A and B are shown apart, each in its own frame.
Chain A
């Protein structure tokens, strides 16, 4: 008995690794099935903190406010006139920078305020389109400003002081009013 065992162990003292591939394949298939390579992307926003008291109506000069209203039929009203989503970006950019120093556009980029208001019946898709255009306006302005100053497009990889400088010059002020309750589903 003892003799036999010792002979056996002497004969093959290696682990048979041929089934290793099978085991690995099994695990591989499991991970293949459960994997989702879906990146989560979206429009990042920062909400204002909640306060129980409604904010005081600020005394704003009308020329500094770019009001965007979206009603429950997904129609836009920009500064009191009907508008389309695709013209929103250019109008917002012109309003913020005011390159021709027009009397009815903002005094300075730091004073410009974009005010967005929607109904409870507004489609979420429309809301995202509008928000996207307004954000695109700011993103492009930051890009242009950054290009002019540092010769590189604006990105989050830039040093913090660069980004602070750019955002200090053109701060993104997008205030969202409490929606009116029209067209609730």
Chain B
């Protein structure tokens, strides 16, 4: 009896069917395609955002434009110095005067009915002083871009 079973098992070829492998991979692929945001250019500034607890999540990526403020990374310190600078898109700009054009370039990609929902995400390094941030804020107010988000990391409340 046992020899009968043994023989039968020896005969069959134990192969795993790989027919469903593409399906599994495609599933993963679609997942990553959906959650992906293609990296927008190169970060030329070192930006470590401060910690905060009262955070709002920015939902729609297409309605958000980013302004970075920080010190240039080592590679660019020769060209741009070590003082805090502003980066719009992937360019380091001279000063806040370039912001209105940058906002306008983003605005044309958004349907007009949603212009009021455009948010500027201000990613500022924690070590920067308020002077340059203030200049950017004034420029945003002048260009009537009033929805602003101070980007920050989540902090668990220690005092509570």
Report which A residues bind B (CB closer than 8 A): 17-18, 20-21, 24-25, 27-28, 31-32, 34-37, 39-50, 72, 86, 118-125, 127-129, 131-132, 135-136, 139, 179, 181, 183-185
Given the known inter-chain contacts A123-B126, A179-B130, please indicate yes or no for A41 contacting B144, CB distance below 8 A. Answer: no
Interface CB pairs A-B, < 8 A, 7: A21-B25, A24-B29, A28-B25, A31-B32, A42-B55, A124-B127, A132-B53
Give chain B's interface secondary structure class.
mixed
Binding site for A on B (CB under 8 A): 18, 21-22, 25-26, 28-29, 32-33, 35-39, 49-50, 52-58, 61, 64, 83-84, 119, 121-122, 124-134, 137-138, 140-142, 144, 146-154, 159
Which residues on the B side are within 8 Å of A124 (C-beta)? Answer: 50, 124-130, 133
Pair B141/A50 contact, Cβ less than 8 Å: yes
In addition to A44-B56, A125-B50, 12 A-B residue pairs with Cβ atoms within 8 Å of each other are A35-B32, A40-B61, A42-B122, A42-B152, A43-B54, A45-B148, A47-B148, A123-B128, A124-B125, A127-B133, A128-B52, A184-B131
Complex contact B131–A181 (CB within 8 A): yes
**List of 6 A-B pairs having minimum Cβ-Cβ separation, nearest first:** A120-B131, A125-B126, A50-B141, A31-B32, A42-B151, A24-B25
